[in-house]
Amino acid sequence: MFEFDAKKDEANRLKHGISLSRAADFEIDMTVVDPFPHEQRFRSFGRIDGRPHCLIFTLRAGGVRVISLRRVHKKEYDRYVSPKPRV
């Protein structure tokens, strides 16, 4: 179950052009732990409607608290999801 603050959703739609409710459509490719002082947060890279997105969230009792959802540039997506092997 996804949860989010209505004011945060409005701010995310204005800033990033997408509602936090679209987290339900997010197909995760990769997740990393995002260091944060007061709670454990996660940064996931994946796709919505075939386009790369980044989802920031934390786990709360009974569900997933969505913090941010935005499009990512291909370069950023490729860096995290499909890094080239180091030679």
For residues 45, 4, 14, 29, the Cα torsion angle rounded to the nearest 10 degrees is 10
- Give the other-Cβ count within 10 Å of 84's Cβ: 7
Percent of the chain whose pLDDT exceeds 70: 93
Mean pLDDT of 43-60: 93
- Asked if the 2-81 domain carries CATH number 3.10.450.530, the reply is yes
> What pLDDT was estimated at residue 7?
97
Q: Point out the least confidently predicted range of 13-17, 62-66, 79-83.
A: 79-83
Q: For residue 52, list its beta bridge partners.
A: 47
Predicted pLDDT at 73: 82
Parse the chain into domains and list their residue ranges: 2-81
